[in-house]
Amino acid sequence: MRSDIQRTLRAIVFQDDCIRLLLIQNICRFLEYGVSVRINMSLLPGALAAQLEASAGLVPSSHDLFGKLGPGGTPQRARRRSTVGNVLNTTETIREKQARAREARELRRTYITPVHKYFLTLVGNHLNLGVDAVEEFVLDSERNITIFESFIKKDGSKCLKFYYQEALMPSLEECGRVITGVPKGTALHRLFITSGLGEKLTGTCIYFTRIKTSTSLTTKNVAEETNFGVLEMKESPGILSMYEKILAKVYLPMLMAQKNWGELSQTPSGRKIVEQFLDKMSGFVSYLHSAEANAGEGTRLQDYEGDKINLACVRNITDCIQHSSNPDVVADLEDLATVWCKQIEQILAESDQMRKEADDTGPLAELDHWRQLMARFNALLDQIKGHQCHMVINILNTARSRVMKKWKELDKRITDNANEAKDNVRFLYSLERYCEPLYRRDPVSMLECLGGLLNVIRMIHSISRHYNTNERMTSLFIKVIFNNS
């Protein structure tokens, strides 16, 4: 074979262009099969040498060799593979991945039992999807099956959540199937099972709960052991509002109408436990309502709407330094920071205003007030620590903007107010258990709790850093007295 190549090379120099091209193609075939060829490039015309290099897909070394020289200058054998061969290998690898994905999908299908079908049927009925379509969505991921099994098995999880919302379509290598007419990476409504920790809910959540996990779910007990519910994000402004609505309109009225509490209904102490539970449930629903109101649009800092800079692309201090040298960018961000300062000043002014309260306001109203302030300030601090605000302040600080002086003062005030609200809530929470009998007008329980109530108030006055002023302690005592009158 090597002698054939040498004769071919000698013929190249003397043949016309058409024959030369044909001979070069023959040499390339030899190279594809791994034959090491040594060519003295000085024997070939310049244009022909370049054509041979391009056809073979090789770059000549300093020794004018196709291939590399080994120790002592001896030619080193090297396998040459064509681009076509690499494409074939890549295609083969993709096909293998797709085949494995299909096999894994069919293996997951064997895990589906009549118990799984029970849940899939309920989900499909609510979403107007066929059971087979719901099953195909569930089979898209091994994670779906793992979470599903964790809910069904003994001592497993107590909640199973299905999200139905827009998400990217996975590839065939990831899920083991292709949806006709939907290319990879297209956003479409998909159904998947989640633990609720990673994915943000933007569509519909269909959830199942179980109280007892001491036994596995079977076709005989699944209907009795599990509960079913739906959360619709498109009908609520936020997740807190959605939970508050379902608790206030479904669960709380159902609990209030409950007459038979089993053994708890038989004894005075049991009935007392029921009353305490219902009071706490009502208080929790009220707190969700106020938390949503104070963490909503009222504390939303204005977004940047200019076109001078894309804040999402600003990632580090180097980017901030680069943009700080642009006067137009700095001017735009100074205007934005000035708006933020006005918004923060308004929030601080509202929190410092005197509250108008009814004469019979009880001590738990004080706890609700500070919880609302804590929710508002925490929502504001989360935005200040967010990417947009953080990058804007870094750029202005690097540019030595005059707005930074006012911003730092307001940032300190917000932090101090948030810490004060958090500290006051922590101490006022200790009052809650002693104040509940005051609201129920139960004389026996009131006598039992007064001693503990006074001890807690004394502890707050002695230890609290923010709530131990004469004005606040007097206001708290007045609320306790008027609540009992």
What pLDDT is stored for residue 84 in this prediction? 47
Strand partners, 192: 163
263-278 tens-digit pLDDT: 888 888 888 888 888 8
Average pLDDT of the segment spanning 369-375: 84
29, pLDDT greater than 70: no
Q: Contact at 8 Å (CB) between 431 and 363?
A: yes
Average pLDDT of every residue of the chain: 78
* pLDDT band per the 50, 70, 90 thresholds, residue 216: very high
What pLDDT is stored for residue 68 in this prediction? 42
**For the ranges 8-22, 79-93, 326-340, the one whose mean pLDDT is highest:** 326-340
What's the CA gap between 261 and 277, in Å, rounded? 12
26, pLDDT greater than 70: no
Q: Contact at 8 Å (CB) between 167 and 190?
A: yes
| Token reading at 300 | 């939303």
Return the domain boundaries, the chain. 2-76, 98-235, 295-484
Of 240, 254, 172, 162, nearest to 203 by C-alpha is 162
Measure the CA dihedral 115/118/120/121, to 10°.
160
What's the CA gap between 301 and 380, in Å, rounded? 8
Percent of the chain with pLDDT over 70: 75
What's the CA gap between 18 and 23, in Å, rounded? 9
312-323 tens-digit pLDDT: 888 888 888 888
What's the CA gap between 204 and 192, in Å, rounded? 11
Higher model confidence: residue 435 or residue 409? 409
